[in-house]
Structure 1
């Protein structure tokens, strides 16, 4: 590999314009693909096959109006007073006009909804009055029938006595005939009363049935009392919008059409805000913070390399690599669904590793020029040595990112693939375009003063003699460093995972305002309602379905943390009922999390009605649990493959194990810092976070892959120098000090560059991007400066020669990759330049 890269470096330097032209052609192809294939990005995250996605699929099948995406438009009066009639009319007009927007299935007018609620309440009140009046009338009729029966019974008694007397009279037949005539009259009257009683019983049964239906409706209305679209003081209103397309398939154009519709027609005295379901769009790929980060990286490069040309080169090549990697990836957005944060991750990694990888080669070439080397020979050797290390370092990062595909989570796998592609492009750029530009620049890479010293024969002087650290210092370094990282990691024990809601959006943004209006006027739970489905038994008629809805609603309301519940739809076959449930708190609260789990664990209602739960809180749980399930497999794959790479590179068993153990320390410390800032709120205001919440659900998995790859990069550049010194005869502990001294400056600069690039994303508008930037910046800071430069060298000092032990049988089968290119250096001696040239 080293020899191949040496030849590639010399060829690139000799054919510089061809190489540059080839990369410009690749860039043009990527831009053309983007113009043709870019179809937009998704701002939603989901995992197929989860409990919530199955509920959505069932709704799409039987209740399609409720299976699509949804969102709210929040209105609030600016003076804190109730809406005027004119304001109500304008809001209703906007709601009516939104029905014709693309992919909009239904729009709920808040004032119509509240009017219907009031009408239902009045209908129930009127019905109760009618039932009370009807009951009184029935009782009056019953009293009359009872009085008539009593009178008939008295007449019958008298008639029976007269019959007995008539039978004793001299002319009984004549007397009895008259009595029988009276008896017939009594019987006819009794039959009339019996018929009247039958009618009365029928009316009473009907009244009881109507009363039961009325009370069922009244009970359902009471249970839904907390679900409102207009606040009680009439200062706020919510327009609910349902889309025909599911969340993951809803286009950005349809969302923007809704936003433009409601924001383009301002209502005097009314503020309008759009919920995150609609307005959380694609984050900016580059912003002011990122520019500042790159500017700081340029300062680091200038300080280290000593000239503007040398400092500019890594940035230029990194930008070209990012443009190719990210724009090329976006060209496939029409083929695969791509999350909005995916290209941002590509930019982060592409810039950071692109600058670093080019820096390693430029720095090696610069040192050789200072020693008087001929330009092209130096470029070839720098490419074969530092470039060889770059290839192996990049391979480690690529492996870690591609391994995200084993999680089985599509959007994570795609993020990893795009990130890996950007890193791979950065590696290719570093070993081809960087040598080409170096060939064009020649000795102008050095400052004038440095060039003058070299031409005068004053080559770069050797440094001071290196001494190994003391054993006591090594022990203290390991103990103090590990203790400090464990202390920082402590908050991670209480880490909660979730997806960001409107409260974590930038203060003053439309999504933040929508969250606050909804939370203040309708309760925090209204910001993230749950969608609950009930599978009903077959054969139920409409009345039985209503009774089943009440049974389900009451069972749900009996759970803790339920503010309100309302049935919202029933399928045509009466087999699926949908309910809206408003929790007491927001979707990221502990109580709502517990409520979702309680509803899912609830036994069948009435023996055969089972529930399903969807909504943001349910999706949070599903994503978190699925990622927790796949994390062990992911760690096994990433760590296993990387260990194999490091065993081959270092020809050691302990060095890869020490490197991995150090990574676990830095990873948990990073998780602790994330939890402390984003969940606990420690120092959150300094990065513009107004409201804290759970850590982004898929951020830990992403950080595992990226930070492991980057950590192994620094391990490679430091430990390979230690191994080279040991192989050349230095005692093990002295080799640690020599290798550390040889690599510390470039690793320090590389780490500072990565930290500055990642830190630029901390101040992005999108909360998701902030989390990525903070986690990566802190992770690199901890791993590079605490683990790689303090703990790992101290541990290797304590282990001594055992660090480089490898079983003989393994030593025979492991290929010698010579990552530092020692054999290449022996084969190709540096050719000194002619001072006269």
Structure 2
């Protein structure tokens, strides 16, 4: 592989203008196609085989009404202090508000509080439902500004008016907070390279690759069912790895310049050596993300493939476009910074070797303290609770969070966790009488708030019952209520000849969370097994892969433990911008496993491959560890800081889903790169000594040689020079 990448690097350097023009042309072509097709994301998170999904299918068949494709916004209102919504003054204000809402030509219909009968018990809180003529994702900013102005007008009259709904609340993929992460990455790169020009280069090439990747995902949404959250995941991942991959290649380019090679030759060597590591790293991340398909959850598979596509684009950009850009700016680099870079490298190597000498001098202490630290952080993982995100986890500064709280105040927490029970005839007797008898069996179940009268369907064999729990969607008692109803269903069927089926958004989300929780161990086992096989091929060793896998498991457990501690248990939530304790996002653990697997193996390869190269030359295991820390420790440090910076930018986002993904990945990199790879790994390698590189001869003969270090290319160059 290294030889092909060497030739590719030479070709890109020779044809720099053509390559850069081609990259820009691909970006423009994707942009034009994406604009012509438009996005068509599908946020359906159903899973085949769910009990609740079968009930939804029956519900849609039996109670099918006119299909509503228009986006909806809900305006939640509360009367001024001392007034009720039934007074003449309040009715006049509401009628005036309804007239103002329909002034927007995009509004199809409005259901006022007297039409939808939404007045609460004391008639102080109600809501209006606005339906648009177009889907939620196509509702214009002008329409959102119009309804915002209507709400502001009510607030000026001492009313409380808050907005929520799919047509109003829009997910922002990139915002000011994400830009902060990119700026920090730029500072890290500029310091690493002692050059603002080379600090910009990895970011610029990463942005181009990311742009093509995101546009490709947008185009793909017209052909596949891709959820909108895929864009956020693909954006943070594509940007982070794109910068890191370019960093590896540019860093090796500078090393070759300092060693006396020409600019073009340095580019080709960098592409052959660091580029090989980039390709391997990208493949591991892609495998981890594409491996999400094994859990057989469609929306998760789509998210994984979207992320994998952006990682693929980041890798191709790094090995094709980065060499071309380096060729274009290479003269500026060699003219002024060759000797300076060499001195800087020597100084940085000396500083890094302080850490290397410290770790190798006290390996037992480092290993024990590191394992205790991560083990303690991992403890909360034992009570992980998965769930879905909603407006109740947002900041109170957001109108949708205030609308959530206002609805809870008016109708109870259970308003956000409604359940639908379908009663299906399964025997003789009067159907509705049997349903009523069956409902009496549910009266003894605790936590049921209100139960609506059964509504018979057209067939006369299905009835619909709405149940409002006394607790909210994130409360464990709500889960117990669903389980209790399902546990009672067989007895009701036997005694009353009616089958009770539980569904609704809350039931579906809880069942999805349970399925994802059940799939996590299976996915982890696949990933761990794959990591062992890949590293055994790369390092020609049995113990190094075992050490790497155990380190990955340790950092993964610490990551989940800290996520549970902050997000679920509510500790330090205000420090990291979380505004209330709630369950961990149901698909977050599997996503984090897939991503951290690839990134952890990335750092492992970059660090340990240098140790292997040194050991093959000297046979000194301790010196090999020092060489690995000295030559690659700084690059791994910079790469880790860049990853953390980018993910932190997403952690500062407003949307709870994006925030939780950014938070988990930022601390996952912190634990893996800075505790496991830079401390525990070299300490364990020191303790293992020469045995770290043991591999049976028969196994060595049958394993393929991937030449990740580009050893064949360097040997050929040395022969040619001789």
Instruction: Indicate the residue corresponding to 1:253 in structure 2.
Output: 138
Please state how far the C-alpha of 1:101 moved relative to its aligned partner.
11
Normalising by structure 2, we get a TM-score of 0.91
Residue of structure 2 aligned with 1:87, choices 86, 90, 113:
90
Change (3 A) 1:459 1:65: closer
Instruction: Indicate the residue corresponding to 1:561 in structure 2.
Output: 447
Instruction: Indicate the residue corresponding to 2:702 in structure 1.
Output: 813
Instruction: Report the Cα distance in structure 1 between the residues aligned to 2:512 and 2:604, rounded to whole angstroms.
Output: 33
Instruction: Report the Cα distance in structure 2 between the residues aligned to 1:99 and 1:830, rounded to whole angstroms.
Output: 80
Is the contact made by 1:102 and 1:257 (CA closer than 8 Å) also made in structure 2? no
Instruction: Indicate the residue corresponding to 2:232 in structure 1.
Output: 344
Task: For residues 810-832 of structure 1, give each alpha carbon's deviation from its aligned partner in whole angstroms, at most 9, with x where no partner exists.
Answer: 10011222211122112114999
Instruction: Indicate the residue corresponding to 1:783 in structure 2.
Output: 672
Please state how far the C-alpha of 1:257 moved relative to its aligned partner.
11
Please state how far the C-alpha of 1:417 moved relative to its aligned partner.
0.6
Instruction: Report the Cα distance in structure 2 between the residues aligned to 1:24 and 1:80, rounded to whole angstroms.
Output: 63
Q: How does 1:726-745 map onto structure 2 within 5 Å? A: 726-745=615-634
Instruction: Report the Cα distance in structure 2 between the residues aligned to 1:255 and 1:236, rounded to whole angstroms.
Output: 28
Q: How does 1:124-523 map onto structure 2 within 5 Å? A: 229-239=118-128, 251-253=136-138, 263=148, 265-266=150-151, 267=154, 268-276=157-165, 279-281=168-170, 283-445=171-333, 448=336, 450-451=337-338, 473-523=362-412
Greater Rg over alpha carbons, structure: 1
Residue of structure 2 aligned with 1:593, choices 454, 479, 483:
479
Instruction: Indicate the residue corresponding to 2:647 in structure 1.
Output: 758
Is the contact made by 2:377 and 2:558 (CA closer than 8 Å) also made in structure 1? yes
Is the contact made by 1:361 and 1:386 (CA closer than 8 Å) also made in structure 2? yes
Q: Size of the alignment, in residue pairs? A: 707
Change (3 A) 1:581 1:679: same
Is the contact made by 1:66 and 1:242 (CA closer than 8 Å) also made in structure 2? no
1:571 equivalenced with 2:449 (yes/no)? no
SS in 2 for 1:687: coil
Instruction: Report the Cα distance in structure 1 between the residues aligned to 2:486 and 2:164, rounded to whole angstroms.
Output: 27
Is the contact made by 1:468 and 1:733 (CA closer than 8 Å) also made in structure 2? no
Please state how far the C-alpha of 1:635 moved relative to its aligned partner.
2.2
Is the contact made by 1:52 and 1:615 (CA closer than 8 Å) also made in structure 2? yes
Is the contact made by 1:564 and 1:583 (CA closer than 8 Å) also made in structure 2? yes
Change (3 A) 1:102 1:640: farther
Instruction: Indicate the residue corresponding to 1:625 in structure 2.
Output: 514
SS in 2 for 1:273: strand
Gaps of 5+ in 2: none
Please state how far the C-alpha of 1:89 moved relative to its aligned partner.
5.4
Please state how far the C-alpha of 1:800 moved relative to its aligned partner.
1.6
Change (3 A) 1:108 1:532: farther
Normalising by structure 1, we get a TM-score of 0.79
Change (3 A) 1:594 1:513: same
Instruction: Report the Cα distance in structure 2 between the residues aligned to 1:356 and 1:470, rounded to whole angstroms.
Output: 25
Instruction: Indicate the residue corresponding to 1:774 in structure 2.
Output: 663
Q: How does 1:683-702 map onto structure 2 within 5 Å? A: 683-702=572-591
SS in 2 for 1:45: coil
Is the contact made by 2:640 and 2:673 (CA closer than 8 Å) also made in structure 1? yes
Instruction: Indicate the residue corresponding to 2:78 in structure 1.
Output: 76
Is the contact made by 1:526 and 1:582 (CA closer than 8 Å) also made in structure 2? yes
SS in 2 for 1:49: coil
Instruction: Indicate the residue corresponding to 1:25 in structure 2.
Output: 25
Gaps of 5+ in 1: 115-228, 833-837
Change (3 A) 1:31 1:576: same
Change (3 A) 1:256 1:581: farther
Instruction: Report the Cα distance in structure 2 between the residues aligned to 1:751 and 1:66, rounded to whole angstroms.
Output: 53
Instruction: Report the Cα distance in structure 2 between the residues aligned to 1:251 and 1:696, rounded to whole angstroms.
Output: 23
Is the contact made by 1:722 and 1:736 (CA closer than 8 Å) also made in structure 2? yes
Instruction: Indicate the residue corresponding to 2:35 in structure 1.
Output: 35
Change (3 A) 1:66 1:634: farther
SS in 2 for 1:586: coil
Change (3 A) 1:458 1:97: closer
Is the contact made by 2:435 and 2:496 (CA closer than 8 Å) also made in structure 1? no
Please state how far the C-alpha of 1:677 moved relative to its aligned partner.
1.0
SS in 2 for 1:828: helix
Q: Which segment is superposed worse, 416-425 or 624-633?
A: 624-633
Is the contact made by 1:50 and 1:622 (CA closer than 8 Å) also made in structure 2? yes
SS in 1 for 2:496: coil
Please state how far the C-alpha of 1:461 moved relative to its aligned partner.
5.2
Please state how far the C-alpha of 1:637 moved relative to its aligned partner.
2.9
Please state how far the C-alpha of 1:81 moved relative to its aligned partner.
2.5
Please state how far the C-alpha of 1:4 moved relative to its aligned partner.
0.8
Instruction: Report the Cα distance in structure 2 between the residues aligned to 1:330 and 1:525, rounded to whole angstroms.
Output: 36
Is the contact made by 2:538 and 2:708 (CA closer than 8 Å) also made in structure 1? yes
Instruction: Report the Cα distance in structure 2 between the residues aligned to 1:516 and 1:504, rounded to whole angstroms.
Output: 10
Please state how far the C-alpha of 1:254 moved relative to its aligned partner.
6.8
Is the contact made by 1:373 and 1:830 (CA closer than 8 Å) also made in structure 2? no
Change (3 A) 1:348 1:24: same
Task: For residues 181-224 of structure 1, give each alpha carbon's deviation from its aligned partner in whole angstroms, at most 9, with x where no partner exists.
Answer: xxxxxxxxxxxxxxxxxxxxxxxxxxxxxxxxxxxxxxxxxxxx
Is the contact made by 2:386 and 2:514 (CA closer than 8 Å) also made in structure 1? no
Instruction: Indicate the residue corresponding to 2:51 in structure 1.
Output: 51
Task: For residues 416-453 of structure 1, give each alpha carbon's deviation from its aligned partner in whole angstroms, at most 9, with x where no partner exists.
Answer: 111111111111111111110111111323683x3466
Instruction: Indicate the residue corresponding to 1:146 in structure 2.
Output: none
Please state how far the C-alpha of 1:270 moved relative to its aligned partner.
3.3
Please state how far the C-alpha of 1:263 moved relative to its aligned partner.
4.7
Instruction: Report the Cα distance in structure 1 between the residues aligned to 2:73 and 2:47, rounded to whole angstroms.
Output: 20
- Cα RMSD (Å): 3.1
Is the contact made by 2:520 and 2:589 (CA closer than 8 Å) also made in structure 1? no
Is the contact made by 2:415 and 2:472 (CA closer than 8 Å) also made in structure 1? yes
Task: For residues 754-792 of structure 1, give each alpha carbon's deviation from its aligned partner in whole angstroms, at most 9, with x where no partner exists.
Answer: 000000011111100000000000000000000111111
Please state how far the C-alpha of 1:40 moved relative to its aligned partner.
3.6
Is the contact made by 2:273 and 2:709 (CA closer than 8 Å) also made in structure 1? yes
